[in-house]
Amino acid sequence: MRKVKRFEAHLDDFNLITIYLSKQYYQGKSDLFYLKDGSGKLQKLTIKTLENTSHDYAKYVVSHHTSIPIGEPIEIIEEHSLATPLQIGLVVKKDAFDEMYAYHGNDLGASVTNTKTTFKLWAPTAWEVKINLKHETIEGTFSMIKHEKGVFYFEVPQNLHLAEYTFMVYRNGRWIESIDPYGQSSKTNGQVSVVIDHSTCFVDLQEDELPPFIQKTDAVIYEASIRDFTMDPAGNNPYPGTFKGFITQNTVSDQGTLTGYDYLKTLGVTHVQLLPIFDFYTVDEQNIKTFYNWGYDPHQYNVPEGSYSTQPELACARIIEFKKLVAQLHQDGMRVVMDVVYNHVFDMDESSFEKIVPYYYFRRGDNGAISNGSFCGNDFDSGRAMARRYIIDSVSMWTREYGVDGFRFDLMGILDVETMNQVEATLKSIKPDIMVYGEGWNMPTMLDDHLKASMMNQHLMPNISHFNDFYRDHVKGKTSENESSVKGYIAGDVNYKEAMKMSLVGNTYDFPYVKLFSSPSQSINYVECHDNATSWDKLKECCKEDSKEVRVKKHKMLIGSILLSCGIPFIHSGQEFARTKNGAHNSYRSSDLVNQIDWQRKDRYSDIVAYTQDMIKLRKQLAPLRFNETELIRKHLSFTDLQNSILLMEFKDVKAYGEYDHIQIFFNPTGQVMYHRLSDYYELLANEAGLIGRLPVQSLTINPHTIVVVAK
């Protein structure tokens, strides 16, 4: 945004101004600069430095003898009488700015009661703010009153439910129109914000119907996209691509088997993680099938996505339909996790954050360079007080108003530790059994490593979980396209046997293991998610020598391993029936044909579905698999190396946690059968066929590419 005019001035500290003067204007030379305040008084500025930043501009740093007022119209004049508005620049990044202007109220946005509607906008650098308001009882543009901490205020003595509004913000010498970053609904494609009275959009969220959720390791997470789950014509869903379609019941395939929501209920998962359902940019809500996107391109964080509504033009419809989705899942005993993307926005310059308070909400270097650790052109600066507050306020709203039960943070390593801890603590005060987890990758954002909410700092965030990429890469194999041939232990590289042990304990053990987490409740164990190739496609690529029968066995082993490991199991929708994207690694904007769930595969691979259902049941049956403390795992779990790198994991002395005292789990990733004699009679609980029952055995046949579970 700098060096676009022949003369610019930016307030970069409370008494320091950076000036850019075009060399096409007096060769960029000026020996004098003045500050002109709102009363017309001129004050001479002191030139501290002069440098040539490019062939086109000269850069001056000038100082004032005292702090320069913020939020007032000020001009800078050079010696030839050319004037420019003083733009509020990097001064907003100073800690003192937050100390002066951070607002601690919980009423930003539009607040509604039966008798009044109040609008509040935090815009401390603005000189003036107006509100454009359209309602059946009132319409026009009205001046807002500036209150403490740079909050602008406007009140109407009536309930303005469904009123449309935008803000006109006069800052840095020009008027900018913006939607409300705190807006809770909008018209089609988010051109205006809409006032919402949630009591008028009321839905009973059925939270009392949920079963108890004691510890995070009791969760079985199932990741799904609203659109992908409902678009396939073979699913026979009357409302494809919508919230309503996601929970539509009594849908069956042409073969008469369950599809959609009724099928989902049969799996036994505890949490359904939804790909972004807040309003995002790149799907036209008036032409829904023209563009596809997963939704990692945020527009309005507090508004449900309009393309998922059957009536995107109606501001209340999208709210009611998403609330009904949450309520239905609750009624059927499943919790809802939102995938949230607070680390970046789709277009920084066009975002309401940058329009209203430029330079504040997005991370920058000391020289003003924009941080791009997200590789999306911007990083949200969660360390700033009001940016952090926004994230906390947003997730709190989704929890209170929509009954959301958990949050998965996209690129959580872009955000900072303190923000994530405050998010978790605030949410837990609202809903004690809430889950907070995310991608703890160490992203190259402009933030010191010790401050990043990444896996390497998990010890600073004991109540937050992370996706375990060590598990993914060593159990299945590497995921990047240029490493698609690299196998993990289950895929057939038995050299990863020790890494398999580390994975099975959720990377909670110290040397000689690779310890990533202090507790198994911090490890999200997965081999497949929306990113990268599906595990079925991965096996097809890295194990080209395998027959289809062997690939099915390995795929079942991957699912079984996830559900029999210490930590929190995570399954990608369709993984349980060999989901394929035809090798696509990043299908975020590919077509429905690539991304949609293929319901015919559910029937084709019904044995994998049944196996997945059985392994979920077995996990719920065997409490030691769900130990939530590393000390319990250390006390009761051990490994034995068997022939041909076959692995035995066993729990001993666990009678206090269920009906069995001794549990043995055999992992055979090889192509060779193994015969094993047990020390006593055990009950055969499960093998490649799924749950067996209570068959007493002493001699075991452990077939190639299978897991066998026995207990006594």
**From the candidates 321, 405, 439, 576, which is the catalytic residue?**
439
Got the DSSP string for 5-43? Answer: SSEEEEEEETTEEEEEEETTTGGG--S-EEEE-TT--EE
* CA 84 to chain CA mean position, Å: 41
The span from the CA of 180 to the CA of 164, in Å, is 11
Give the strand order in the sheet containing 674-687: 637-641, 647-652, 662-668, 706-711, 674-687, 690-702
Burial environment of residue 382 by CB neighbours within 10 A (0 to 12, 13 to 18, 19 or more): buried
| CA distances (Å), origin 184, targets 36, 198, 241 | 40, 10, 22
* Residue 610, CA atoms < 13 Å, CB-side half-sphere: 12
Q: Say whether 619 sits in a helix, a strand or coil.
A: helix
Structure tokens at 303: 């508004």
Q: How far is 14 from 368, CA to CA, in rounded Å?
A: 16
Pick the catalytic residue: 401, 410, 537, 614? 410
Answer yes or no: 439 catalytic: yes
Helix (H) and strand (E) counts in the chain: 16, 33
How would you classify the pairing of strands 568-572 and 221-224?
parallel
**Residue 325 CB partners (closer than 8 Å, separation 6+):** 243, 244, 246, 247, 336
661 among known catalytic residues: no
198 by Cβ neighbours in 10 Å (0-12 / 13-18 / 19+) ranks as: middle
Contacts of 348 (CB under 8 A, 6+ apart): 354, 362, 370, 377, 378
Q: What are the backbone dihedrals phi and psi of residue 165, each rounded to the nearest 5 degrees, phi first?
A: -155, 155
Contacts of 115 (CB under 8 A, 6+ apart): 157, 158, 159
The catalytic residue positions are 410, 439
